[in-house]
Structure 1
Amino acid sequence: MSTKSKGVLQMTTLSQDRAPILEALKQFKRMRVVPFDVPGHKRGKGSPELTEFLGEKCMTVDVNSMKPLDNLCHPVSVIKEAEELAADAFGARHAFFMVNGTTSAVQAMVLSACKRGEKIILPRNVHRSVINALIIGGAVPVYVNPMMDQRLGIALGMSLADVKRAIEENPDAKAVLVNNPTYYGICSNIREITKLAHAHGMLLLADEAHGTHFYFGKNLPVAAMAAGADMASVSMHKSGGSLTQSSFLLVGERVHEGYVRQVINLTQTTSGSYLLLSSLDISRKNLAINGEQIFDKVAFLAEYAREEINEIGDYYAYSRELINGDTIFDFDITKLSVNTLDLGLAGIEVYDILRDEYDIQVEFGDIGNILAYISVGDRERDLERLVSALSEIRRRYKRDRAGMLRHEYISPKVVATPQDAFYADKESLPIGESAGRICSEFVMCYPPGIPILAPGEQITREILDYIVYAKEKGCSLTGPEDMDIERINVLKGV
């Protein structure tokens, strides 16, 4: 059987209509095994309320690793076969099943590529999981500050010229990391960045938390593996339909998969959930067989909603018209990203109104945008309800936009490495008195989880104004030890 993943054609005898983990679990259920192992609920009998809530079918397959079901840390049978099918479907040399979320996939990717003191070139508008990996492993970031879209107030992709300059100035860097795409749907020129990285002996890593569908849909941006990337973290649960917290880590020919598995096993659980594993297996099968049709529908729904929202007035649901061939090399048309600034409302305010007054939950709202995540389970009537609600919000809440902040991203001044700053001696200050000091913790709006401040960065008055504004607008700020974000930890004596 031949399978095709965004331009990567592989001749193989693997059959994508199989789901080995699912098949093994079904066989296990038929065996009626008496459990004297963990988990302690013993197929649900020990926790009636939980079984009533989740269902007996769910509880009977919440099981531990055993010979018939293989072992995630060292797969030799059904999980190994499922990994081979996933690699085939995604056009990778190997695929790892990840059950600690895409966070663990991103961290394993960075930790595999870079050791302590080694450099990695990356955009600053990365998810906190990337910077967490730098704290854990001690790699040194070389940030490529992205350009800004002044109208939308969002960070864009990396300019090819900026990446080239960073590589030439840091020839000892071990890897380049690319967001493919950003939360908003913006894509850098990953194919050319990959060529640049490889020409200088560097690995290309892709955070594809929001790009699962690139591997299966038509007329979408190029997927990382098809672009020649060496590793990609793919959040299958976001647009691929698997259970929350389940993801894939894909690797290519230039990466030693045995070493990557060792790195994964440093942090990933030894008690892999078979609910999550089977959801990855089943969802991979579904996308391999039906993905093109599924994402045709998703793209249609997103475009339909975009057109309707732009007819309302004051909202701007943006798409491929933004493409400039460089910092916006391509755009993910399945992303329904909507700018709200002309309405006189911050994105987070629209987000709150949609949830509190219309029972509509969008993915996130920030200073100037909302994102409605459209995927395999959406229906046209759901989009109609969203459009109708946005129209009513404009009629009821529109106001003058004077005094609104425009920018979602502020370029940082990096003074120390994330690891050095995070573990250094620190002191706590009232946040309003911290300007000029060096931050030793994170501050971010979640979602999307892109740090406003990261360990090792200088706190500026502009950043403090942004934090105050975000709090006033109702953004969910996370990161510091002080849960109220009234105080912040800074490097002692610096």
Structure 2
Amino acid sequence: MEILETRKHHLDQSRAPIYEALQKFREMRVVPFDVPGHKRGRGNPELTAFLGEKCVGVDVNSMKPLDNLCHPVSVIKEAEDLAAEAFHAAHAFLMVGGTTSSVQSMILTVCKRGDEIILPRNVHKSVINALVLCGAIPVYVNPAIDARLGISLGMQREEVAKAIAKHPKAVAVLVNNPTYYGICSDLRAIVNMAHAAGMRCLVDEAHGTHFYFGNGLPVSAMAAGADMASVSMHKSGGSLTQSSFLLIGPNIHAGYVRQIINLMQTTSGSYLLMSSLDISRRHLALHGPEIFHKVVDMAAYARQEINAIGGYYAFGRELMNGDSVFDFDITKLSIHTLDIGLAGIEVYDILRDEYDIQIEFGDIGNILAYLSMGDRMQELERLVSALAEIRRHYQKSPAGMLTQEYVEPVVVMSPQEAFYADKISLPLEESEGRVCSEFVMCYPPGIPILAPGEKITKDILEHIQYAKEKGCSMTGSEDPDLQRINVLA
């Protein structure tokens, strides 16, 4: 009630309380007999020379004038209230453990051991990690597949409805919105279905910060009526890496969420990360529509130019079908590469090694150039030119190339049960038919090919081997080279 009453008078979005408090603190010249031990940088001159005096000078510990992230009562609470208003949420929590901790806090808030949660299988590893921690049981809704692009799409309404009908005791439905490629589900419909069945709706909105501030973009989680949403401010919102927001709607108890966050998150919250959230929220609240209008225009231009090269397919809203691709994030520059005979990861490597262009990721058949507020037209021109040259110099026959990113899993037991079960290590090629007890994924994007509790099939082994041969960064397994894999004993 307190937050809602305050919001009637509208908060001053030009404020940045944490930043302002740190500025005031800097002027006070307080003598530090607390942590961190570098003592405003004096104790570690190499670090200070690298990061700068201004940066290390505000790398400080919680103290009364600066509030405490675990139990905010002053400037951090003000920053949270401002963020809640800017994102149209009932409450916003500053997260300094990345959107991973935000996603895990969402799931641990609504799930306990043995609870069922409905979710797509192409979730980020952080979602399944949370199931390992709390013991909830996943009810997977396999996403639709685009046969040409080989990518998983959004959740189909009919499939969500079937899962809800078959699992009426499930406590929540979780939605990826948007996916890494920019695909959006019919979020409003899924929220309404979940609520009609007495379930919560959680949204992994890691790649959708700009939905809250741009015009003509897909609906945001809070606008769709979702109960909780995890928002990666550091991805498209401009804050420092590892900073994020957890947003909640009016029917979630903020005090309990805070308790869950405090189970998951550090007690030594970084003021560099928190102030970056504070300043970036202010920037978006004041200038967001203008910023993302430019991003949309740049993405549209790049999409047109790349498609004119030939061989590539920079896909967009033409994929929309009213269901599994209900909407599309037009700021995402997702590009299909297989028609020039190169896997996405091969184009990724050539761009970096030969052209000094670092894109977000490359996988079996696609690349993603992540566009946001810091991009300029001249860099886009350089990307387009490089892609044209790569086609001329490296194009080959696409025959024999793997096309599908998503391999449907065979779930044998819960992630928690499998992760903590007795296990043995086998050579990867000898593991077919066994039950996996660890993760295997390409990072980025960090969506598991295998998760604990899933059967290792011939298709999955072929996918892993192909991804390794093409140069994908395989992570998650105990063996860093993925020559061996842990399976149930």
In which range does the TM-score fall when normalised by the shorter chain? Answer: over 0.9
Which of 388, 395, 398 pairs up with 2:385?
Answer: 388
- Counterpart pick for 1:247 among 244, 247, 272: 244
Of 44, 48, 53 in structure 1, the residue corresponding to residue 45 of structure 2 is: 48
Which one of the candidate residues 41, 62, 65 is aligned to 1:65?
62
Identify the residue that residue 479 of structure 1 maps to in structure 2.
Answer: 476
Q: 1:23 aligns with which of 6, 20, 25?
A: 20
CA distance in 2 between counterparts of 1:351 and 1:417 reads 35
Counterpart of 1:419?
Answer: 416
Q: 2:137 matched to which residue of 1?
A: 140
d(CA) in 2 for partners of 1:13, 1:96: 19
Deviations along 1:383-412, one digit per CA (max 9) or x if unpaired, are: 000000000000000000001000000010
CA shift at 1:13, angstroms?
Answer: 2.5
Q: What is aligned with 2:4?
A: none
Query: What are the residue-to-residue correspondences of 1:199-210 with 2, within 5 Å?
Result: 199-210=196-207
Q: CA deviation at 1:254?
A: 1.3
Aligned: 1:399 with 2:393: no
Which residue of the other structure, out of 418, 442, 445, is the alignment partner of 1:445? 442
The aligned counterpart of 1:301 is 298
The equivalent residue for 1:84 is 81
Tell me which amino acid in the other structure corresponds to 1:156. Answer: L
Pairing of 1:75-154 with structure 2 (within 5 A): 75-154=72-151
TM-score by length of 2: 0.98
In structure 1, which of residues 452, 465, 489 is the aligned counterpart of residue 462 of structure 2?
Answer: 465
State the alpha-carbon separation in 2 of the partners of residues 63 and 354 from structure 1.
39
Question: Share of identical aligned residues, percent?
Answer: 73
What is the SS of the residue equivalent to 2:175? strand
In the alignment, the residues of structure 1 paired with residue 488 and residue 233 of structure 2 have an alpha-carbon distance, to the nearest angstrom, of 38
Query: How many Å separate the matches in 2 of 1:111 and 1:59?
Result: 34
- Does residue 235 (structure 1) correspond to residue 240 (structure 2)? The answer is no
Cα distance in structure 2, aligned partners of 1:267 and 1:82: 21
Q: Which amino acid aligns with 2:432?
A: A
Residues 402-458 of structure 1: CA distance to partner in whole angstroms, max 9, x if unpaired? 010000000101000000000000011100011110000000000000000000000
Of 24, 29, 32, the match for 1:32? 29
Q: CA deviation at 1:40?
A: 0.4
Q: Please, what TM-score do these two structures have when normalized by structure 1?
A: 0.97
Q: Distance in 2 between matches of 1:87 and 1:471?
A: 43
Q: Secondary structure at the match of 1:141?
A: strand
Aligned ranges for residues 208-227 of structure 1 at < 5 Å?
A: 208-227=205-224
Amino acid at match of 1:197: A
Using the alignment, how far apart are the partners of 1:196 and 1:152 within structure 2?
A: 29
Count of matched residue positions in the alignment of Structure 1 and Structure 2? 483
Q: Distance in 1 between matches of 2:341 and 2:289?
A: 39
1:11, CA displacement in angstroms?
4.2
Matched residues in 2 for 1:254 and 1:452: separation?
35
Question: How far apart in 1 are the matches of 2:121 and 2:289?
Answer: 33
Q: CA deviation at 1:275?
A: 0.2
Partner residue of 2:337 out of 335, 340, 352: 340
Distance (whole Å) between structure 2 residues aligned to residue 203 and residue 256 of structure 1: 13
**1:51, CA displacement in angstroms?**
0.4
Distance in structure 1 (CA, Å) of the matches to 2:244 and 2:451: 25
Once residues 296 and 72 of structure 1 are traced to their aligned partners in structure 2, the CA distance between those partners, rounded to angstroms, is 34
Q: Does 1:361 align with 2:362?
A: no
Match of 2:168 in 1: 171
- Give the CA RMSD over aligned residues: 0.5
Determine the C-alpha separation between the residues in 1 that align with 2:88 and 2:155. 25
Paired residue for 1:6?
none
Alignment-derived partner of residue 183 in structure 1: 180
- d(CA) in 2 for partners of 1:27, 1:140: 49
Shift of 1:267: 1.5
Shift, 1:12, TM fit: 3.4
Deviations 1:47-76 (A, max 9, x none): 111101100000110000000000000000
Partner residue in 2 for 1:5? none
Match of 1:268 in 2: 265
Q: Which runs of 5+ in 2 are unaligned?
A: 1-6
Deviations along 1:196-238, whole A, 9 cap, x unmatched?
A: 0000000000000000000000000000000000000000000
SS in 2 for 1:143: strand
- Matched to 1:479, the amino acid is G
* Residues in 2 aligned to 1:28 and 1:406: alpha-carbon distance in whole angstroms: 56
Alignment partners' CA distance in 2, 1:438 and 1:59: 47
Give SS of 1:109's match. helix
- CA–CA separation in structure 2 for the residues paired with 1:47 and 1:450: 38
Q: Quick one: distance in 1 between partners of 2:316 and 2:386?
A: 21
Give 1:429's aligned residue. Answer: 426
Alpha-carbon offset, residue 302 of structure 1: 0.6
Letter in 2 for 1:440: S
Q: Distance in 2 between matches of 1:465 and 1:167?
A: 33
Looking at structure 2, the residues matched to 376 and 263 of structure 1 have their Cα atoms a distance apart, in angstroms, of: 33
Q: Distance in 2 between matches of 1:325 and 1:410?
A: 24
